[in-house]
Structures are given as C-alpha cells and as structure tokens.
Amino acid sequence: MKKSFKTFLHILWPLALFLSGCIPSQATKTTRPKVDTTPWQEKTVQNTTSGNRFSYMVLPGPSEDAPVAVLLHGGIFDNRIWLYCSDLAKKYTVYAPQYPDNHLAYTGHVSDWGKVVKDFIDAVHVSPDLMVGVSNGAYGAIEYLLQNDTDVTGLVLISTVMLSSSEDEIKKRTRMGRFAMRLSPGRLQGLIEKRATGTDYGDTPGNISQSDIFYVRPYPYYYQVFRVPVTQGGKKQNTQKIKIPVLVLHGEDDEVMPLWAAKLTTDVFPNAKMIEFPGQGHDMTFSIGPRIADEILKFFK
C-alpha cells in the first residue's frame, strides 16, 4: 500500500505543483559551474559536415589502440555525471559528450537521438566498441546501434527504462509530456529545476557535489525531451535487433526511473543481464561511479 501511494504521488507531482501555484516563472540555474574534472580533459569539436559543435570530456586509454567507450548522459545532469567513472580508462579510451542544447537533427523523436550521437562520433573520428547510456542517454545509445552498421560489441544501460515497456509507463509519460508542453519555456525550465534541486541525491566520492553538475538547459531542449512520449506513443524500439551483450544497472531507490519498469529491460533484449544496487537512486553513476566502472569492466573483460 505504501509503495502504491508513493507511485501515485510521483505521477501527480506536476499537477500538484500547478494547482498549488508553485511553478516558478522561470529557471534560475542555467549555467554550468566550472569544476575541476581531472583526470578528464575537456575539449570541443566541430563536425565539419554538419557544422554542429560539441563539448566533451575524454580520458586516454592504456594504449593508443585501446578500445573506445562512448558515455551518454541524461537530461537533468550534464556529462560530468561520469566524473567518478574514470577507472574505465584502465581498458578504454573514453569519450563523454555533452548533449547540445539544440541540434538540427533533433525534432522530438527518439530516433533523432541516434543522429545526434552519430554526429558527435563522426566529429571525433572514432569507432566505438562500447556504448554506455544513463537515463535518457540510453535512448541515444540504442538508436545509434539501430541506425548504423557498427563494430560496437557491448551496451550498458544505467538508470533507465525502455520506452513502451509497459502500458502504465506509456500513459504516465504521455500525461507528463502533455502537461510540460502546455507551459512556457521559462516555466517548464523552472519546474524541472524545482523538482531536481528538491531531490535527495546520494553521497559523492569526491569534492564535487550534485549541484555542481546540475544544469537547466535552455529552450528548446526540454520541450523536445517532453515531446518524445507524446509523439512516440506506443511505438517500440526494435531492441531485439541488438544481439550484443547488454548490461543493465539500476538503483533500487530510483524515483525517476522506477525499478519495476527497469526490470522489464532484460526481456526486450536477446542477451541482457541486470544488476540491482540497494540504496541507490537515479544519480548512482555519480554517487558510486567507481563501483559502476568496476561492474562494467568485470562484465566486458
């Protein structure tokens, strides 16, 4: 009964804020604070064909011919959510792009995320061996694999659930999407900020806090993100086509992407394994980064 009531409150939080008049008039935290990302190197690159520019972090691997891992973040945090996963460089040369706030290829459809990811990969001229996505970043990794003939040999999905994995999830996301799109850009960004900064994130292993990497993206990013469940409807990604090994990592206390929905992920891939993390929430890639990196390295030996 307690779990059902918690789920009920989680679904209705946008409406509750609206009725109580608590929706901010605009976002206030719209810049990325400067933090020390050592040992990561922060760089920018421009795709000479599309003209799009990307900020990204990179970690050199143990050798020049080391396999390449591409890490894709979600919507509320930026790419520095991978800061404490630096142990991945023991095996891989690691790239962690920052999703651009706007991209001509992105119109609000899930398939567009794959085009944005390919645009970055082409810009840095690499051939990924491992794709890793956290939260919404997982959809970019999946769509990249579905749309391209690649040499990728492994996929990691962290703190995410598959689109259309259940009718309940479809209905919930569609309601939230329609609600969000009725708000002005400033109010939508303010609502995201209020919700995210009010969340009780976990402890961190270093000097940088969660708030240091929290980022309210400007319009039209959030409108595009919330448009996805409305335009996607019940359409499913052809995940059965992805036959490479898939590692699913999820926190048992994740309030953004519920564990019960995440458990359905292994059923939609031919070759998937799930590991659950007690006491961990949606931010676990940051809060227990070394452990996340270790699990990935052990799985893809």
**pLDDT tens column, 26-85:** 888 777 788 899 999 999 999 999 999 999 999 999 999 999 999 999 888 889 999 999
Question: Among 292, 289, 298, which Cα is nearest to 80's?
Answer: 289
Sign, CA dihedral 4-260-279-30, equals negative
Residue 258's alpha-carbon distances to 17, 131, 157, 162, in angstroms, are 21, 22, 14, 11
For 151-176, the pLDDT digits (tens) are 999 999 999 988 766 777 778 878 88
Helices 185-197 + 2-19 axis angle, to 10: 140
Mean pLDDT across the chain: 86
Interatomic CA distance for residues 190 and 27, integer angstroms: 4
**Taking a C-beta distance cutoff of 8 angstroms, is the pair 205, 23 a contact?**
no
The residue that leads in pLDDT, 262 or 75, is: 262
Tens of pLDDT along 118-147?
999 999 999 999 999 999 899 999 999 999
Whether the pLDDT of residue 103 is over 50: the answer is: yes
Query: What residues contact residue 124 under an 8 Å CB cut-off, 6+ apart?
Result: 45, 56, 95
pLDDT (0 to 100) of residue 92: 98
Question: What pLDDT does 170 receive?
Answer: 78
Separation CA 136–CA 82 (nearest Å):
14
Ordered by where they begin, the domains of the chain are 24-299 (3.40.50.1820)
Task: Provide the pLDDT for residue 110.
Answer: 81
Residue scoring higher pLDDT (218 or 273): 273
For the cut 70, the answer to whether the pLDDT of residue 13 exceeds it is no
Q: Which of 143, 136, 112, 109 is nearest to 228 (CA)?
A: 109
Q: What are phi and psi of 54, to 5 degrees?
A: -130, 140
